[in-house]
Amino acid sequence: MAHKLIATDAAPGAIGPYSQAVTAGNTTFFSGQVALDPSTGEMVGAGDVALETRQVMKNLIAVVGAAGHSITEIVRCTIFLADMNDFAVVNELYAEALQGHRPARATVQVSRLPKDARVEIDAIAVGAG
């Protein structure tokens, strides 16, 4: 099965040897997003989990759109937190950004994230087809 690499300037470019997303068939796998400003490459709200989460979701939704999906086609997300004590704040802002859509999800605490982010979120979407 052929695959297509997804890239958009509306979200930060990859900071390593990977793509923002890859589509295979009608399924798209979205790389984890941290709170980088797409125009500057700098962290937004570094250390403030609410500001970071808003930027993460903005970035993720931009790549979802660039891949031709809507947020309602997201079927799975993983949230990586530097501190599980941030769960309630991240959960609230995640839910707000997805506007009532409720994909399957896992949330895990990790020892460290790229750019010392507080939160990173990846996703999988399945389109019609």
- pLDDT tens-digit profile of 94-114? 999 999 999 999 999 999 999
The fold adopted by the segment(s) 3-126 is 60s Ribosomal Protein L30; Chain: A; (3.30.1330)
Average pLDDT, rounded, for the chain: 95
Which residue in 72, 68, 75, 66 sits closest to 122, CA to CA?
A: 75
62-100 residue pLDDT tens? 999 999 999 999 999 999 999 999 999 999 999 999 999
The pair of structure tokens assigned to 108 is 């895990």
Exposure string over 16-54, b if 16+ CB within 10 A, otherwise e: eeebbbbbeeebbbbbbbbbbebeeeebbbeeebebbbb
Token couple for 105: 């999800």
Q: Which pair of structure tokens corresponds to residue 129?
A: 């087809």
Q: What pTM value is reported for the model?
A: 0.96
> In the chain, what are the domain boundaries?
3-126
